[in-house]
């Protein structure tokens, strides 16, 4: 009997993250819906069909991340799929951006992905299988001019670098990729956005379930590679 895969999705209680949770659960994957407020996350999970567990994970500080990762690993020693979806958007222009505000974006959008990837991908190596998906953005792509708000662009560009460097670091059947979901109707994207959360989640779900011949160390939009 084929092993049931286990996926951890950060920020899985709403928006694109919730659609990723739903899509992976539909594929028979056990999904760990990670969020800061476990009570509200459990309420959301209760409305989704599938094998879904809510886990606490606060990405805002190194200490809170470490605590959350340790607790998750205690309950679920081997994670097959990691989706670094959670993110924050600071609208400040560069001239008005403080160091503290920049670091708040860096902590959630980039450094959390670095720490979670290190923690869980190291364990994926022991089983010879792993998929890591980083939710990035064209706003953080040099190829598209880094034209997003300053902290967002800087932190997502850093996330892209983490994706490429980490993919090169892990050999074997460990696939680490980034993707841009496009402009999605979420709390972050706003009501005028052109895509639904389900449409935004589609490429992430595809990358999370790549077969053994799938790509690694690449940046995607709509399942097609794009330039960094």
Respond yes or no: is residue 99 known to be catalytic: no
Return all residues near 23 (Cβ < 8 A) that are at least 6 apart: 198, 201, 202, 205
3-state class (DSSP) for residue 140: helix
**What span, in angstroms and rounded, lies between the C-alpha atoms of 115 and 161?**
14
Return all residues near 78 (Cβ < 8 A) that are at least 6 apart: 6, 123, 124, 126, 127
Active-site hit among 99, 129, 152, 170: 152
Tell me which residue has tokens 């053994």: 212
Cβ proximity of 71 and 46 under 8 Å:
no
Catalytic residues: 152
């Amino acid at each position: 009997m084929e092993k049931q895969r286990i996926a951890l999705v950060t920020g899985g209680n709403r928006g694109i993250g919730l659609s990723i949770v739903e899509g992976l659960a539909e594929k028979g994957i056990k999904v760990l819906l990670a969020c800061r407020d476990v009570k509200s996350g459990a309420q959301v999970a209760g409305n989704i069909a599938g094998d879904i567990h809510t886990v606490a994970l606060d990405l805002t500080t190194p200490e809170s991340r470490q605590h959350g990762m340790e607790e998750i690993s205690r309950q679920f020693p081997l994670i097959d799929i990691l989706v670094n979806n959670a993110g924050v958007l600071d609208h400040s222009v560069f001239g008005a951006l403080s160091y503290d505000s920049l670091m708040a974006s860096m902590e959630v959008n980039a450094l959390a992905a670095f720490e979670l990837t290190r923690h869980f991908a190291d364990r994926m190596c022991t089983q010879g299988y792993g998929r890591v998906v980083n939710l990035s953005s064209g706003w953080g792509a040099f190829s598209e001019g880094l034209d997003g708000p300053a902290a967002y662009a800087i932190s997502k560009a850093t996330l892209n670098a983490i994706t490429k460097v980490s993919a090169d670091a892990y050999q074997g059947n460990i696939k680490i990729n980034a993707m841009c979901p496009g402009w999605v109707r979420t709390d972050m994207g706003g009501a005028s956005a052109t895509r639904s959360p389900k449409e935004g989640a589609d490429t992430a779900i595809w990358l999370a379930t790549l077969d053994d011949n799938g790509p690694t160390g690449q940046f995607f939009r709509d399942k097609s590679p794009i330039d960094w």
